[in-house]
Amino acid sequence: MDEGTKFDMSRDILLDYLKELKDKPLNIAIRVYGSKGGACEDTELIFPFVKAKDINFDDLAKILQGLGPIGQNTPIAYSFTKAEGDFINKEGENNYIVLLTDGIETCRGDPCKVAEEIFASSARIKVNTVGIKIDEKGLAELNCIVKPSGSLVLNAETASELLSSLKEVVEVGYQSNLRIKIVDKNGKNLYWGWDYNCPDEDIPCKLAAVQSPAGWWMCKFLPGHYIFTIENWWGDEKKFEVDLCEDKVEEIVVTFDRGDIAEYQYKPYGVIHTNVIDNEYENEKFLIFLCMNEKCKRDNLKNFIGGGSFQNFCGGRTMTWEDVTQFAEFIAPPGTHEVCVYNYKRDEALLTGD
């Protein structure tokens, strides 16, 4: 696949996907590089921020159709620097850059350093990346770029993979309203547990949670006032209170003086979306398990619910689990996985996926 073909495919898929976002609570802008001759300062905001519902797709299509891969340079770092200015007056919002690229930095910039700087800025800009048929060297750079904010790296080989990758990296952004990270005094990620109150005790309030390889939990809660209790493996506890709403992400970092350090490897991970539906009971409660590379062991389920070891439940390969009423999202490495859904009220377990 040549450069022009990849560019045309990406442009068409991007336009079609943006149409799917028309009813989502998003503001969207588009910045490009390498479209005017390929200098290392060749980057342009071709479509300033506008609400998804207000996008004129005829105008956008004309703008995108007028683009082409002209230059030979890839100024990712410089484009990040200029993109930071695109987020003026958006402090406190859930700000993401989705980098769509088929190559690595070629202008002697340091995209990893710039990504760290814009994440530390007042706008707290996080970068998700989608590579288009990119090699191992390119993936290493993309993993480095997302490391500061704990975001996602995906690599697409085909048009269908590109579309699904775009959906994953965008949905992680707009489906969360709380980001939590628990660290020790040196900034290293900790293993930890958490508890919280629901504003209405009769209505379960956590809708989803997904953990990034960098240790951030990106969560979706119903709007309301919450009190969180965080505990590390040493039994130390800390509390924080937060007001959560639909269209703003609160970011919390809780620091303990001690704890067990969790190290994460940065590699392309995919998101597994699990929806739970029960037509007979309202507000049914479920426990959802993701079992990695090995079958869930149904006969160990009751032992686990009664206080057994979650490692035993999935043969020592459990990735994570969620207590939900609607849906859960998991980040998982390549391999064969199964999802086990346990119904509290019926005391039944159902295995899905493969």
With respect to residue 306, please indicate whether it lies within any of the assigned structural domains. Answer: yes
Among 174, 201, 233, give the residue marking a domain's end: 174
pLDDT digits (tens, 9 = 90+) for 237-250: 999 999 998 777 88
Q: Are 75 and 105 in contact (CB under 8 A)?
A: yes
With respect to residue 275, please indicate whether it lies within any of the assigned structural domains. Answer: yes
pLDDT score at 285: 67
With respect to residue 265, please indicate whether it lies within any of the assigned structural domains. Answer: no
Using the predicted structure, report yes or no on whether residue 89 has a pLDDT greater than 80: yes
CATH of the domain at 56: 3.40.50.410
pLDDT score at 225: 95
pLDDT digits (tens, 9 = 90+) for 151-185: 777 788 888 888 888 887 787 777 788 989 898 88
Residue 35 banded pLDDT, cuts 50, 70, 90: confident
Same domain, 198 and 76: no
Using the predicted structure, report yes or no on whether residue 78 has a pLDDT greater than 90: yes
Please, what is the Cα angle at 96 between 90 and 101, to 5 degrees?
A: 135
With respect to residue 262, please indicate whether it lies within any of the assigned structural domains. Answer: no
Residue 334 banded pLDDT, cuts 50, 70, 90: low
Using the predicted structure, report yes or no on whether residue 301 has a pLDDT greater than 70: no
Same domain, 227 and 154: no
- Residue 235's closest CA among 191, 177, 282? 191
With respect to residue 164, please indicate whether it lies within any of the assigned structural domains. Answer: yes
Count of C-beta atoms within a 10 Å radius of residue 215: 19
Same domain, 121 and 228: no
Among 141, 174, 207, give the residue marking a domain's end: 174
Residue 293 banded pLDDT, cuts 50, 70, 90: low
**Three-state secondary structure call for residue 214:** coil
pLDDT score at 316: 39
pLDDT digits (tens, 9 = 90+) for 113-156: 999 999 989 888 989 888 888 888 888 898 889 887 777 777 88
With respect to residue 261, please indicate whether it lies within any of the assigned structural domains. Answer: no
Same domain, 127 and 227: no
pLDDT score at 350: 74
Same domain, 93 and 188: no
- Residue 166's closest CA among 315, 13, 319? 13
- The domain containing residue 333 runs over which residues? 270-352
Same domain, 24 and 41: yes
CA separation for the pair 113, 81 (Å, rounded): 10
Distances (CA, A) of 319 to 152, 222, 333: 17, 25, 9
- Any residues with CB less than 8 A from the CB of 289 and at least 6 apart, and which? 296, 310, 313, 314, 318, 321, 339, 340, 341, 342
pLDDT score at 79: 95
Report the pLDDT averaged over residues 329-333: 65
With respect to residue 47, please indicate whether it lies within any of the assigned structural domains. Answer: yes
With respect to residue 243, please indicate whether it lies within any of the assigned structural domains. Answer: yes
Same domain, 153 and 7: yes
Same domain, 130 and 224: no
Which segments within 52-177 are labelled E, that is strand? 96-101, 126-132, 153-156
Mean pLDDT of the chain: 79
Same domain, 182 and 167: no
Name all contacts of 309-315 with Cβ < 8 Å and 24+ positions apart: 313/289, 313/340, 314/289, 314/340, 315/291
pLDDT digits (tens, 9 = 90+) for 38-59: 689 989 999 999 999 999 999 9
Same domain, 63 and 140: yes
Same domain, 310 and 215: no
Distances (CA, A) of 244 to 176, 199, 249: 10, 11, 8
**How many domains is the chain partitioned into structurally?**
3
Using the predicted structure, report yes or no on whether residue 207 has a pLDDT greater than 50: yes
Same domain, 11 and 96: yes
